[in-house]
Amino acid sequence: MGIAVAATGTQVKIGDGGGTEVFTTIAEVGDVTGPGLTTNVEEVPAHDGNGWMQKIATLKDAGEVSFTMWFNNAASQTAVYTDYLNRVKRNFQLVIPTTVPKTFSFAAFITSFSFNLPVSGAIGADVTLTVNDQVVMS
């Protein structure tokens, strides 16, 4: 029988780019989605095949990580916005609070930053990170 684990406590961390990199938790992150891992497939049918479509797996793509944050101009949130403006590729960590916590490390560009300013509600921002290269789990 499996034991489900609550996602509460998941952290998105941003690296400082230093030689011995330090990661800071991005303040007030809400729902997180991703990374969306996929593998590209190439069709390779041949006349001497068995009459069925044949395929090979080619490149893997880590896709995107997206999250909402309740924007309050914290330093970590401002860093995300500044990196978006300057097209900075940054190292990130996604820490998932499983029984033994797992950290997913990756480099990404911030490709979307959209404020949410509801009349009746909190200031928020939706952020999308487009992963560049692989995601490493530790």
pTM: 0.88
Residue-wise pLDDT tens digits, 16-49: 988 899 999 999 999 999 999 999 999 999 988 8
Give the tokens for residue 88: 């900075």
Torsion angle of C-alpha atoms 84, 90, 22, 61, degrees rounded to 10: 130
Q: What is the pLDDT of residues 90-138, one digit of tens each?
A: 999 999 998 889 999 999 999 999 999 999 999 999 999 999 999 999 9
pLDDT, position 48: 87
| List of domains in the chain | 11-45+53-137 (4.10.410.40)
Q: Token pair 């095949």 is at which residue?
A: 49
Q: Reduced to 3 states, what is the DSSP secondary structure of residue 81?
A: helix
